[in-house]
Amino acid sequence: MPPTASTVRATGLYRRLQHESRAAAADPVELVQMLYDELEIAVGVLISMVNQGQRVSATDPAHRARSILIGLDVGLDRDAGGDVAGSLSRVYRSMRRKLDDSVAANSAEGFAELLAGVQTISAAWKKIREG
């Protein structure tokens, strides 16, 4: 049986509360990892939408992905981060351009390229967390 609108809303609310609880106890590295996790989900949803023949412009996943990329960029500590922060800022701006271009073209391939880049950086953050 397919999920009803109310079960989808309830699941979304539960997930949001779970993330809020996790964020409240997280350190800065974990918070960044949470953003990467959410970005991966948003871009994955965009890929699925395009593959199902839907237009993705002005959708929640597109806005969410863009907001996360902006948040990651704005949240960089450029004083303490030096060259690394500058490099990450350029990467985030490049990812926003890729996102915007992929949204405009409704391109699953563009989103897949973006997702691959996000996963690469996310894996590096996970290693920082582990070691």
Residuewise pLDDT in 10s, the chain (131 residues):
544 445 545 555 545 545 555 555 567 778 888 899 999 999 999 999 999 999 999 889 999 999 999 999 999 988 888 898 999 999 999 999 999 999 999 999 999 999 999 999 999 888 877 76
> Crossing angle of helices 28-51/60-74, nearest 10°?
150
Domains of the chain (ranges; CATH) run 27-130 (1.20.120.340)
101: Cβ–Cβ under 8 A, 6 or more apart, which residues? 107, 110
- In order, the DSSP letters of 82-93 are HHHHHHHHHHHH
- Residue 125's pLDDT is what? 81
Count Cβ neighbours within 10 Å for each residue of 72-95 and write b for 16 or more, e otherwise: bbeebeeeeeeeebeebbebbeeb
Work out the number of other CB atoms within 10 angstroms of the CB of residue 32: 20
- Residue 113's pLDDT is what? 98
- Residue 31's pLDDT is what? 87
Tokens representing 43 are 């871009």
pTM over 0.75: yes
